[in-house]
Structure 1
Amino acid sequence: MRFILLLTIGLLIACKSDKKFHGEPLAIEGVSEKMKGILEFQSKYDAMFKDPEASPLPDRFRKDFEGLEYYNADTTYVVNAVLERTPDAIPFKMSTTTDEQRNEVVFGIAHFELNGKSHQLEIYRSADEGEAEVGDYLFLPFLDETNGNETYGGGRYIELEVPSGDSITIDFNRAFNPYCVYNKKYSCPLVPRQNYLRTNVRAGVKDFKKD
C-alpha cells in the first residue's frame, strides 16, 4: 500500500467516532489554531497506532503502546514556503528499503527560512498513477541533523496537499517516521540526499525505541 495512502487511511479510521481506540475528542483551550492543529494531529496519529486494523506496529509492540514520543509542539516549525513549481520535471525511480522502486516526479521546490537559515526541499508526487488517482497528495521526505541521534537515521516524511497558489505551508510538527521503522514488512522510500536540511528539526515524531 502506498506510503501516503497508508497514513491518510489510518488517520481517517482513527477519527471514526465508533472506534474504541479513539476516545473522546481533545479538549484544547487557550492555544492558537496552529498549536491546536498540532496537538490534534498527535492525538489522532497515536489513536491510529493503537488500532489493530490500521497500526503498522506488530502485536508485541502495540499491546503496551501508549503513544509515540514527540518533540514539544512548536509553531516556529510551521513555515510558509515559496513553491517553485517544476512542470517539466522528468519522472524518476525513487529507491526504497526493499528492491521495490517508486515512480515519482518533482512537483516543486519549497524555499523557506528555518532556524535563521535559508533552505530548500524537493516535494514529490507519484508518477505511478494518473492525476485523478493521485489526487492532491504530495510527499515530502527529508533528512536533518537530528537523524541517528534523536530521530530515525533514515529521515522522516511529511504529507502535503497541492496548494492553489505559489506558496505552501510545511508543518514539521507533523513529520512522521517511515512505517519500516516499526515493521520491516513495509517498503519505505529512501530520502533523496538533496533533501538534507543542515539544521536540527526538533519537531514531529522522535525515533522509536523498541526496548
Structure 2
Amino acid sequence: MDSMTRNDNWREAIEQDREQKERYFREHHRSPIPPDLRGEAFPGLEYYEVDPAYRFELELDRYDDAETVTVETTAEGEQTYRRVGQFRFEVEDTEVSLDAFEPTDGSDRLWVPFRDATSGDETYGAGRYIDLEPDEHRTADGTWILDLNRAYNPTCAYNPAYECPLVPPSNWLEIPIEAGERDFPAEVHTH
C-alpha cells in the first residue's frame, strides 16, 4: 500500500469514528448528553480538520519506576494511575512531552490527557484525552501511534453530572494543539 492510500485510509477512519460518535451522542439512551438535548435538539460536535502533522509514531520512554499518582476529578474526588512513561515529539518546531498513564486496574491501555493553549477558548477548559490500546495503537516494531487528531473531550464536557479526572500539571502544554475535538457549545455546559 502506498503512502497516499494509507493516508486516505487513516483520514477516512477518523472521519468515520467522528460520525459514529456524533450518532451515538445524538440518539443513544446511554449518551452523556442530557436527554432534552438529544435528537433534533442536539447541537452536534465540532472538530479541527484532520491534519497528518498531528500524528506521530513514537517510542514510549518508560520510567524505571512507574510512580502511582493521585489525580483529582471534576467532582472533587480522586483517581489513581501509574505514570509509566513519556512521549517526546515536536509540534510546529516546539519540543513537547506528554506523560502516559496506566489505570491501576491492571489494564495495559495508556491514558494521555493534556491541556494546551486552546483549552478554555477553542477546546474544553479542563483538557482533552487520548486513549491508546496496545492492539490498535502499537506498530509491529513496538512504537505507539499518538494521534492528536483523536483527542476527545471527557464526558463532563457535555454533562456536569459526570466525574472526570483532571489533567495532571505535567501534561499542560503552552502551545496550541489545533487537532481533535473542539469545545461543546458553552450554553450547554450550564444547561
TM-score (norm 2): 0.85
Q: 96, 100, 104: which is aligned to 1:123?
A: 100
State the distance in 2 between where 1:75 and 1:178 align. 23
State the distance in 2 between where 1:33 and 1:46 align. 20
Q: Which residue of 2 aligns with 1:172?
A: 148
Map 1:10-159 onto structure 2 (within 5 A): 32-63=8-39, 64-65=41-42, 67-127=44-104, 129=105, 131=106, 134=107, 136-159=108-131
State the distance in 2 between where 1:100 and 1:165 align. 38
Contact 2:118 2:178 in 1 (8 A): yes
> Which 5+ residue runs of structure 2 have no aligned equivalent?
none
In the TM superposition, what is the alpha-carbon distance from 1:92 to its structure 2 partner? 1.8
Percent sequence identity over aligned pairs:
35
> Which 5+ residue runs of structure 1 have no aligned equivalent?
1-28
Runs of 4+ in 1 over 6 A off after TM superposition: none
In the TM superposition, what is the alpha-carbon distance from 1:119 to its structure 2 partner? 1.0
State the distance in 2 between where 1:54 and 1:171 align. 27
Instruction: Provide Cα deviations, 1:4-32, integer angstroms capped at 9, x if missing partner.
Output: xxxxxxxxxxxxxxxxxxxxxxxxx9961
Instruction: Provide Cα deviations, 1:66-98, integer angstroms capped at 9, x if missing partner.
Output: 530111111211112231012521212111011
Amino acid of the residue matched to residue 45 of structure 1? K
Instruction: Provide Cα deviations, 1:74-126, integer angstroms capped at 9, x if missing partner.
Output: 12111122310125212121110113211100121111111121111001111
TM-score (norm 1): 0.77
Over aligned residue pairs, what C-alpha RMSD do you find?
A: 2.1
Contact 2:67 2:84 in 1 (8 A): no
The aligned length equals: 178
